[in-house]
Every structure is written in C-alpha cells, then in structure tokens.
Homo-oligomer: A and B are copies of this chain.
C-alpha cells in the first residue's frame, strides 16, 4: 500500500504510532489540515478571529470542549492521530511530542484549518507549475505588513506563502485557486513584494527560499501559518498545534471545497 492510496483512516492509524517526516503525498485527493487547540476560554475570540480572517484561517471544522473526534477524522483521536505536535505555553514552545494526550486539558477546543496542499494539487492538475514541489523544498512564507482583523485577544500580521508563477499563467493561477475560497482562495497580492512589507524573497520567515528565474512573477496567498503565528503572538496559556509539515489527514475530499 503506497502513501498516496492509503485511506485517510489508514493514514491516521499509521501516524498514531509512527512519526513520518511529512504527511505530504499521503491519501491523495483528501484534504490535509492545520491544528490549533486552545483552552475554551480563548475559543470565542479565536473562532471570531477565524471568521473575520477567512483567507488565512479557513476553518474546516471545530471540535468542542471534550470532543476528540468528528466526521473529519472518523474513528480517530485528534490528540494522537497527527504524526507530531508542538506544545506552547504563554507563546513559548515547551515540547514536541508524537502523542499530545498528556498535555491535553479537558476543555480544549480544536480548530481544524485548511491547508494549501488542496489548491496546489489543483494548480498542478491545471498545468500551473509549483516551484517548491519541483525543487523539493518547503514553501517559502513571509510575515507581511498587513494587519489581520483583530478579534478579542487575537491580533497580528498576516503570513503569506509565495509561489513564483510564469507571467502567462498568473491568470490561470488566480482562476484555479479562487475556486477554493474555503482553502485560502485567490491570491491576496501579485508581484511587488515590497508593497506588503517583504524586503527579500530569498529570506523567508518560515519554510525555504525557492529559486525564481527572471521573468517569473511572485504570487502571494494567505497562509495557514497565520493563525499559529497570531496565537503565539497573543501568548495563550496553552496551545497545542501540529508540527510543521505534519498535518491532520482528514476524511474530506479536496474537491468538496471547490466552487462553483
């Protein structure tokens, strides 16, 4: 059984006991997701933050206090079924673990947030090259000067991912990704990195730089790292997140998020 043909349930069962390097490539066609779990006293503010900032924080689902599973991870357990977790206290990383159970508090609310893997597959299917995949790197991400809409205790700058797109295919990249409004949607900025506060594309704040040949346009999408970044900035007493690149593999098909 290859990673790509594993069902999401099989992949989650594997990750319960095995810490793979990345979930990229597992269960082709199924949406992968970011996790941030917070004590319930932060839940309204964070849910409102996500509602106000749907491009960086597209919520696929929420597990209420006491819930550890849902239709997005049928038969699963959100505390164990991601390969690895990062535990933050007051904004500081205190542990990386393959099993979050011992850190979990009874009233944790889990936010499951869409991931750009969904629209990257759609780009590839439409013949639009994705440079960091071709170059075998993580996508480059940058903190911008764009303020998110604040909500309660949560506020901060938007993080974007950048994909260099051939000028003749920028329109296709816009068209294809705008069909996925529930998973970051259309780019928030095309070209001119300086205008959103990015001084040097070769020095991303997260991920890895990619080679950008001359004549290729940098295109920027709102990034799922934003909620973690904002949440860390706001220093909640406790937050449990997936480890980078090690996502929740959900039972939702990528195509379920496509419109029209």
Contact = CB atoms under 8 A, between A and B. Distances in A.
Interface string A204-236: 000000000000000000000000000000000
Interface in A70-103: none
Interface stretch (A11-19, A159-167, A177-185): A177-185
Interface string A174-199: 11001101100110000000000000
| Interface magnitude class on chain A | 20 to 34
A255 interface: no
A80 to B, nearest CB: 24
A34 to B, nearest CB: 16
A239 B48 CA distance: 19
A260 B260 CA distance: 8
Given A48-B47, A51-B47, A59-B51, A151 B64 contact: yes
B48 A51 contact: no
Interface in A26-51: 43-44, 47-48, 50-51
A178 B52 CA distance: 22
Interface of A: 43-44, 47-48, 50-52, 59, 61-62, 64, 151-152, 174-175, 178-179, 181-182, 185-186, 259-260
29 contacts: A43-B44, A44-B44, A44-B47, A47-B48, A47-B51, A48-B62, A48-B64, A50-B51, A51-B51, A51-B59, A51-B62, A52-B61, A52-B62, A64-B151, A64-B152, A174-B260, A175-B260, A178-B260, A179-B259, A179-B260, A181-B181, A181-B182, A181-B259, A185-B259, A186-B259, A186-B260, A259-B259, A259-B260, A260-B260
